[in-house]
Amino acid sequence: MSDNDIETVSKAFIERHGRPPAGVWAAPGRVNLIGEHTDYNDGFVMPYALPQRVTVAAALRPDDTWTVTSLNNSDTQTFGRSDLVPGMSGWQAYVAGVVWALAEAGHRVAGADLVLTSDVPLGAGLSSSAALECATLTALADLNDLDIAPLDRAKLARRCENAFVGAPTGLLDQAASTMCTGDHALFFDCRSFDSEQVPLDLKTAGLEILVLDTKTPHALVDSEYATRRASCEQAAAILGVPALRDVEDLDAALDQLKDEEMRRRVRHVVTENGRVLQAVQTLRAGDFRALAPLLDASHASMRDDFEITVSTVDLAVEAAREAGALGARMTGGGFGGCIIALVEAGSSDRVAAFIGDRFAEAGYHHPEHFVALPSAGAGRVG
Ligand code: ADP
Ligand code: MG
C-alpha cells in the first residue's frame, strides 16, 4: 500500500457517493515463513504481514444496505440484510460474509458504502481473500464503534471465509492480517491462540526475503485442500488424538497407520510443527541464517509427503538455491502460487532473473517477484 492508494480510494469514494468517506482502513496480505497446513491441525504457524494490502474508504449509510466497489475489477455490488445468506457467490461474498459474521456474533452493524483497492496479488497464495475480509472488518468495526480484539477479528473473518464463502481454511491467514506488526513475524499457536511477536530484522543480518509468484493457476486447490484436511482428521481419529498436533512420538504413530499415503500426510504435519518450533528458536536467537535449512526441509516435506507442490513451484525453489539462495520453500496452501527464498541482501533481482531464465527454458509463464519486508497488520490509515 502507498499514500497513493489512500488518495485513490478517497477520491473514488467521493466520485461515486458524492460525499467524503468517514475514514480509510487497510489490511495486509501475508507470507507464511514456515508452518504449512498445520493451522487446521491445531498446530503452529509463523507468518508475517506484507506491505501489500487492501485499502478501503468507507462511511455509514442511513439504511440497511451495503455497497462495495472494487477498483481492481471495476465492479460495484449492493446487498441488503436479507441477502446475507451463506453460500453467496462472487467476490462480494468476502465482504457480505463479514457483515454476516459480525451480525451473527451479536454485533449491531449499520449499512455502509465501501470503495477498495488492493495490491495483494489475487489467488497467488498471499491471502488477498483474508486481506479483503480483514480490511472490511476493521472498517466496519470502527464505523460501528465495536470493541473487538485483533484475535477475535481474525476469528470472525475466518468464519466469513469458512461458513459464508465456503472455503475450509484454518486461522493462519486472518490471524496474520489482524495481528502482525512491522519488523516481526507472528508465532501463533492455532490451538491455544497464544501468540508472540518475534523480531525479524533481516536487514541487520544482511539478508532479505524474496517472494516469487510462479503465476501458476491453482486449478484443483479447493478439492485438494479438502482431501488433505480430511486425511489429517481421519489419521487423528485412528491415532486417538484430538488433532495431529498431539502426536508426540512420530515413529509410534506411523507404526499404527496402515495407509502409506496417510503416513506421509501425518509425517508432514508432525515434522512441520517441529520445524516451526525450531524456527522460533533461531529467530529468538537472531540467528536468521539458521532458518535456511528449515525452509529447505519444509519444502521437501510439502513436495514428498504432503504432495501439495507442482512442477513450477519445485523448479522455482530448485533454481533459487542454484542461484545462491540460502534456503527456499513454497508458501501458502499449495498447488501453485508463490515461493519465498532467503537471500543475501541486494541479490533478489539477480536470483529472480535466474529463476526467470529457467522458467523460459521450461516454457513456463514469466514469474513476478518482490522483496517482502515484515509490515504492519490491519488498522486505520486515513
Ligand atoms: P488468495 O487468498 O491466495 O489470494 P483466494 O482464492 O483465497 O486466493 O482469494 C482470491 C479471491 O478473493 C478472488 O478471486 C476474489 O474473489 C477475492 N478478492 C480478493 N481481493 C479482491 C479485490 N481487491 N477485489 C475483488 N475481489 C477480491
Ligand atoms: Mg485466500
Q: According to CATH, where is 3.30.70.890 located in the chain? A: 207-371
Task: Report the separation in Å between the CA atom of 129 and the middle of ligand 1, taken as the mean of its atom positions.
Answer: 4
pLDDT score for 223: 85
In the chain, where does the domain assigned CATH 3.30.230.10 lie?
A: 3-200+376-380
Residue 261's SS3 state is: helix
Q: What is the 8-class DSSP label of residue 164?
A: I
Cα 269 to chain centroid, rounded: 18
Question: Are 203 and 64 a contacting pair, CB within 8 Å?
Answer: no
3-state secondary structure at position 320: helix
**Spatial distance between the Cα atoms of 125 and 111, rounded to a whole number of angstroms:** 31
Question: CATH top-level class for 3-200+376-380?
Answer: alpha beta
- Do residues 23 and 121 lie in contact, with contact meaning Cβ atoms separated by under 8 Å? no
What pLDDT was estimated at residue 219?
63
Phi, psi for 334 (deg, rounded to 5): 115, -170
Query: Best of 69, 70, 91 to mutate for ligand 1, by most ligand atoms within 8 A of CB?
Result: 91
Q: Which residue's C-alpha comes closest to atom 7 of ligand 1?
A: 129
Quote the pTM value. 0.95
Ligand 1: does its nearest atom lie under 6 Å from the Cβ of 123? yes
Rounded to the nearest whole angstrom, what is the distance from the C-alpha of residue 128 to the centroid of ligand 1? Answer: 5
Q: How far is the CA of 124 from the centre of ligand 2 (A)?
A: 8
Of the candidates 220, 99, 233, which has an alpha carbon nearest to the alpha carbon of residue 159? 99
Mean pLDDT per 10-residue run, the chain (382 residues)?
88 98 98 97 98 98 97 98 96 98 98 98 94 98 98 98 91 97 97 97 95 84 88 98 98 97 98 98 96 98 97 98 98 94 98 98 97 97 97
Tell me, what's the pLDDT at 302? 98
What single-letter amino acid sits at 79?
F
Say if ligand 1 is within 6 A of residue 73 CB: yes
- Ligand 2 (ion): residues with CB under 5 Å are 129
The burial class, CB within 10 Å (0-12 / 13-18 / 19+), for 251 is: exposed
Grid cell listed for 290 = 539458521
Helix, strand, coil share of the chain (percent; to 5): 45, 20, 35
Report the distance separating Cα 194 and Cα 282, nearest Å.
19
Active site residues: 173
CA pair distance 56, 12, nearest whole angstrom:
10
Looking at the domain that runs over 207-371, which CATH code has it been given? 3.30.70.890
Neighbours of 99 (CB within 10 A): 25
What's the count of helices (H) and strands (E) in the chain, helices before strands? 11, 12
Dist CA 46 CA 209 (whole Å): 14
